Amino acid sequence: MKFIRFEYLKKVFYGLLSKQKIQVYSDALWNNGKPLEQFISINDVRILSPCQPGKVIATAINYPGVTGLTERMDEPLVFIKPSSSVIGPNEKIISPFKDTPVWGEPELAVVIGKRLSKANATEVQDAILGYTIANDVSCENVNEWDHHLARSKGADTFCVLGPWIDTEYNPEGKQVRGYHNNVLIRDGFCQERLWKEPELLVWLSSWMTLEPGDVLLTGTPSRVIDRVYFKNNDIFTCEIEGLGELSNSFILI
């Protein structure tokens, strides 16, 4: 099922989307939200990011052929994107870095439904609430000193999530694509990932507690053309087969 977060009459709700109707829930699924006898047309709401994660853990260099991949990588490479970086579908990606190139990266994202700490594979599988689409917006490193990628990856609006969480989605064999102004930039398949869930989550939870509503980004596929940087009013679209698409425009302040 497709679980969404949305704004209606200036208030924020969670709900279950079925065709063009939303059944309102009392809260998020990871907060034991229950269905209410209230239905709203999708045409009357503004869809937001499907969750407000306490943290977003992003996986780097997780597809063959991507920049930085070496034979010495014997464990996943991850970094943190702050909750303040999260926006939803159709919101503007806004860069505060006047002279720094910015680009988009389409990724499959995993939404956590239960607390995970030192979990095994069975516990991890049970804790995966569902999947959504992410755009891991990034900017060029400065003087090669942003080793933890906080500046390059963590600015406000640099983590786009949506449009929904699909709780029944199976990513195996599904295609991941990214388009810059309708030009294909990145292309790959979920099964090509070097580390997949639940393996990623077992490893992460061995040293980091994951809370309900947290999000794991699982890496972007390799480029099919040279990197293209955003200009004002450019549009980047992330598309994952069977999961939907996520589009946002870009502005430089």
Of 116, 252, 244, 229, the closest CA to residue 181 belongs to: 229
Same structural domain for residues 219 and 141?
Answer: yes
Same structural domain for residues 93 and 25?
Answer: no
pLDDT at residue 17 in the model: 98
> In CATH, what number is assigned to the domain containing residue 230?
3.90.850.10
Overall domain count for the chain: 2
Last residue of a domain, one of 33, 48, 63: 48
> Do 45 and 11 form a contact (C-beta atoms < 8 A)?
no
pLDDT at residue 188 in the model: 98
What's the pTM value of the predicted model, to 2 decimals? 0.96
Q: Does the structure show a pLDDT above 80 at 107?
A: yes
Same structural domain for residues 141 and 226?
Answer: yes
Same structural domain for residues 89 and 115?
Answer: yes
> What is the distance between the alpha carbons of residues 43 and 5, in angstroms, rounded to a whole number?
14
Name the token pair of 97.
Answer: 């870095």
Same structural domain for residues 109 and 225?
Answer: yes
Higher pLDDT, 174 or 98: 174
pLDDT at residue 67 in the model: 75
Residue at token pair 């990871």: 30
Longest dimension (CA), the chain: 56
Q: Is 238 helix (H, G, I), strand (E, B) or coil?
A: strand
pLDDT at residue 66 in the model: 85
Mean pLDDT for 115-131 is 98
pLDDT at residue 72 in the model: 73
Same structural domain for residues 94 and 181?
Answer: yes
Full domain range(s) for residue 7: 1-48
Q: What is the DSSP string of 50-66?
A: S---S-EEEEES-STT-
- What b/e readout covers 40-54, taking b as 16+ CB neighbours within 10 angstroms? beeeebebbbbbebe
pLDDT digit string (tens) for 147-198?
778 999 999 999 999 999 999 999 999 999 999 999 999 999 999 999 999 9
